Structure 1
């Protein structure tokens, strides 16, 4: 009888440790997220399930073209791509991204641009000064984010810049659906 009690106690202890580890990992390191909507098409599809690395930005700053998750409101997280970094001026003119006046290629948009006719545009022209906040350059601890589906994305053009306090983390691993499992490269 004593052996049975000891065995049960060991099982309960092991389960409590496992749940504790799961809680710590889920809270501080990695979390699942489901893509909701078409704003990151064709890179991400509605319903794609991904893993968010929540601790990466504790060690380093976001980089251009990272795909990030951030708190857009108290109830909603968004997934977008970092386009502008602190200290930079961002503008789009004739579907071309300019950072500090220099043209920057966006290879993840190339396929979409090739499918469009010559008179269509993917991204309406804008300058950083025209966005909410009317900044001349992106302030420290902020980034400018855009969805890959520029015609159908609620991003910095509407929401304004994203502060690092709003940032949940970087995501690059699609784990479901099975036929879309992949690691996204910037």
Structure 2
């Protein structure tokens, strides 16, 4: 009987000692969850943001419904550079667009057929070179919507703005239609395609 009392007391003491330990572990888990939520909030709203590509305006490099990670910090430290892919807000349409930077403040942009000139120098565009070649092989212009028959259109980018175009030049609503984009309206740079998994890759900005 005495042994039974000792056993009962031992079990009670063990349970009594375990309770504070369990509470301590639960508090640690709760703190970890709170920290994780805060980090997700910071990353999501301050540093990076997801963006869904809509439409074919950035083909062949971006497909509709692809998900990309947008770096929201980079342009807090420097201005956008030509050929970078940016996401920006179009106030009149209350939506975000994804396009490629063609010209920055002070640049004079000219088009002649499928040839792009910035400040009088022809610019090679490796990110759409194959698409241009395929169009030419069919006897067509790749950029055949706003500048038909090889006519030249010239634009000079004002201070505080950029000129953007979609990679799918004959199927893109960009600065040719909506005008220059204010740097203040830029959400960030598209850095990673993360969905679908098969298409996951770092975004090439050149």
Matched, 1:89 2:115: no
The residue aligned with 1:68 is: 86
Corresponding residue for residue 27 of structure 1: 45
**Aligned match of 2:57:** 39
Greater Cα shift, 23-32 or 68-77: 68-77
Q: Structure 1: give runs of 5+ residues left out of the alignment.
A: 130-136
Q: What does 1:36-185 align with in structure 2 at a 5 Å threshold?
A: 36-73=54-91, 75-117=94-136, 119-123=139-143, 124-125=146-147, 127-129=153-155, 137-185=156-204
DSSP 3-state at the match of 2:87: strand
Distance apart, 1:116 and its partner CA: 1.4
User: Hey, which of these two has a bigger chunk of helix by percent?
Assistant: 2
> Deviating runs (4+, > 6 A) in structure 1?
none
Q: Is the 8 A contact 2:111 2:154 kept in 1?
A: no
TM-score (norm 1): 0.89
The CA deviation string for residues 118-159 of structure 1, in whole angstroms up to 9 with x for no partner, is 642222335345xxxxxxx21122100000011111100111
Distance between the aligned counterparts of 1:115 and 1:83, measured in 2? 22
Partners of 1:12 and 1:70 in 2: CA distance: 37
> 1:25-51: per-residue Cα shift (whole Å, max 9, x none)?
111111111111100000101111111
Tell me, what secondary structure is at the counterpart of 2:81? coil
Provide structure 2 residue ranges, at least 5 long, that are not aligned to the other structure.
Answer: 1-18
In structure 2, distance between residues paired with 1:119 and 1:10: 68
Residue-pair matches, total: 179
Report the more deviating stretch, 78-87 or 92-101.
92-101
For normalisation by structure 2, the TM-score amounts to 0.81
SS of the aligned residue for 2:102 comes to strand
Matched, 1:7 2:33: no
Which structure has the larger Rg?
2
